Structure 1
Amino acid sequence: MSAQTSLIYVAVGLILIISAATVLSPAEDQEFYPWVVDQSDTIADFDVQYSELPQSAQTIVDSAIAGEDPIISTYEDYEAVQSLRGSKDIQKGDTVYMIRTETADNGGLFEAILRASLLSAGGLLFALSYIQQRKATTLYNLALLPAVAATVLLGVEIYQAPMISLVHIEGYLAFGLASSIPVLLGMWIKSRQYLILGLIMGIVALSVISVLADPGTSDLYILAPLIVLGIPGLGLGWLVENSLNGRGHSPTID
């Protein structure tokens, strides 16, 4: 039965990760729409010549001039965004086009939190699959929960980003670590073992340190996973602990 349960955890984890990575946009992936504010055949000053723009930016400029209302994103059109962001006077032929590129309305905070929560949850299910297969909640096994959740979250975000500098590593590290707290708390409620409680305190400390490492990091990177994954995590942790040791046990350092 434990083997079947482990496979279910892996399958659901993969579904969550793939869904989040393909359907939901990262917080750093902003959308922009460039549009022609004005044009002139007499202005001599300009910011850049059309021929000096990257090919992707030239395509977007042509689309904006044609009035096609193009939309570009940081991740899919990184060079174009960097070249056109803000207001630019672009000379094409004998005409100077004043093009303004503004932020479009995207999924915002809710979509970013949901994406990070699903990726972290996928990592948690991978770790729970291993724990279920090993039929033991040793300190090593339990520590896999925050480690795998943070690794999956950071791994996907870094892999999909055009530049690693775009990824808020400190924030995602705190998010991934904190996402394991509800599951571990559910295990502790069932077993009442202080070693689990000590691990939770350590994870809280590491999450806080990650947030404080960058003054611009919001507390939401810790609070959001606790809220979104709180009740499901508590229930899942209790069920896993109950399935392995219905009468309680003493975790050991392994």
Structure 2
Amino acid sequence: MDTDRKVPTPVYQPYLGSLAIPDLQDAQRSGAFDLGVLLFLQDGYMQRTLAEQGEPLREAFAQIDAGSEDLDERAAAKREALTRAMCELYVRLKEEGDETTGVRGYAGAAGVYLNGAIVDYRTYLLDVAAHLEQSIQVESTPDLAWLAGHTYALLARASTTVDTIEGALGADAGARAGEVLSTGIGAIGSPGQNSVALALGVRMWRMIEQIDAAPQNHVVNREGDVSAELDAEIDPWDFEPASRADFDL
């Protein structure tokens, strides 16, 4: 990690914020599969679409660029073209009996996604700990309020993921996930860090505790208004990604 970098490594976010493949939409409605798992599985089909249909998509994107000067309109058109190609790929794979398109494939993806998500969360937390130490080395003041807001949101997702792992994969798997996550949590404000990094970590955890005590005062609700009583030291944090990729190739 660059010592002067402000932002820790981001955790995985799906290309699309919603399900576009009808079978995956049905799987979500059944209640048997977590939305994050299905979005992860959908991303696999999208990556395969990009790999197999790269040239046709580039041609389609070039036509979209030539037909409009509005960046938002072009991004929406590219997203629609890619989504359509992805759905066509899924239909073909299903007709060919591809094992990823059935319930067993969904279940397999669940294990990969859930355990991978825990590793992502741990990596982020370790990166935050390293960021605090390395900021001191370059005489830079880390933005603790920003880090606290993002870390709180991540821990909220991580807690849900551990519960999902326990429910889907068993108590032992849930315990292992908790142990992996705890190594990342313990790295921030660890006695093994230098005294300044330790103090910064402790202060950040206090900010996180402040958010946890009254999250409605610190978290932006995408469907509602921002609270007028936000603490000056804490930035509001939206749990959902602020933007999505525009799919430029």
Q: TM-score, normalised by structure 2?
A: 0.34
- State which structure, 1 or 2, has the greater radius of gyration over its C-alpha atoms: 1
Q: TM-score, normalised by structure 1?
A: 0.33
**Structure in which a larger fraction of residues adopt helix:** 2
- With CA pairs under 8 Å and 6+ residues apart, which has the higher RCO, 1 or 2? 2
